[in-house]
Structure 1
């Protein structure tokens, strides 16, 4: 699925006529409807997404193939992916989360700190969840220019200058 980028998540039914609650992960949240066809990790394809309104933390939408409340509820929590070639190119200092997962994280001296397992955001900026090579508990590294001065996608690595003590050093 490396040619697919997660652009949103279904969040259950809205009403009883098959409308869904839809969380958009796009920089321009309404643009999610422009990136069709959207697919699930199970291979189900949605060729049409029509935003019908905005609720608390999510849009309401009509998606082809979902016509009942039960169908909408059954898809709650399902991620939606768009083909990478349908998405806009990013500036040099921006990255799709999917491109960061799996990258090796080294300190400025070249020592391996771990591997990016996930990119999280709890409201105060992005965090890289890094799994140390010794299998210890993951470490949350702030994804800021100060803490992560270099992201080299071509080389498959990140150079980090983590806050002192973050990786137990």
Structure 2
């Protein structure tokens, strides 16, 4: 479990429960398809503000609507329970390159969001999957949240990772 943490980790899921008595964990995957998380053999787990710890994936499989994973060194229910709530990440260098104009969610979080006229809306705090399309969760300067559909070439007009800027076609909120 001890190893030097990579400089850039990308969160791909979360531990949400335990399965059985032999240390298997229930997880949520943010990969598409969801079973792609099992393609990465070295996982980094972090609970709350603790440091990241490295684990080797022994195996995983779909179980009903969820996913079950087995990690090297996690051999009993109590150890698995200690991982509940942990984020699951991998080293950025093992992720496949994306086609042009496609982005990993982690690259969009933190970008400043502007309207076409240059007015600042806020900053991307998170993305959510809704089924129809993904949604940007944008926190305004006033601290409120705006949900903006992530629809390239319609709502989302431009993404500039180098300048940390995302341009959208989105009206001003009125009260």
TM norm structure 1 = 0.88
Give the structure 2 partner of residue 14 of structure 1. Answer: 19
What do the CA deviations read for 1:47-84 (whole angstroms, capped 9, x no partner)?
A: 22411x32233211211121111222221221110011
Give the structure 2 partner of residue 28 of structure 1. Answer: 33
8 Å CA contact 1:12, 1:74 repeated in 2: no
* Moved segments of 4+, more than 3 Å: none
Give the structure 2 partner of residue 50 of structure 1. Answer: 59
| Whole-angstrom CA distance in 2 between matches of 1:91 and 1:100 | 15
8 Å CA contact 1:10, 1:75 repeated in 2: yes
| Whole-angstrom CA distance in 1 between matches of 2:9 and 2:22 | 30
Please state which structure has a larger fraction of its residues in strand.
Answer: 2
Per-residue deviation, 1:24: 1.8
| Whole-angstrom CA distance in 2 between matches of 1:136 and 1:44 | 33
What do the CA deviations read for 1:19-62 (whole angstroms, capped 9, x no partner)?
A: 111222112333322323211232111122411x3223321121
Counterpart pick for 1:40 among 41, 45, 48? 45
1:80-95 mapped onto 2 (5 Å cutoff): 80-95=88-103
| Whole-angstrom CA distance in 1 between matches of 2:94 and 2:20 | 30
| Whole-angstrom CA distance in 1 between matches of 2:143 and 2:36 | 39
**Structure 1, unaligned stretches of length 5 or more?**
none
Q: How many residue pairs get matched?
A: 165
1:57-76 mapped onto 2 (5 Å cutoff): 57-76=65-84
SS for the counterpart of 1:30 is: helix
Give the structure 1 partner of residue 144 of structure 2. Answer: 137
**Structure 2, unaligned stretches of length 5 or more?**
1-5
8 Å CA contact 1:132, 1:138 repeated in 2: yes
TM norm structure 2 = 0.85
Cα RMSD over matched residues?
Answer: 1.9
| Whole-angstrom CA distance in 1 between matches of 2:130 and 2:72 | 31
Give the structure 1 partner of residue 168 of structure 2. Answer: 160
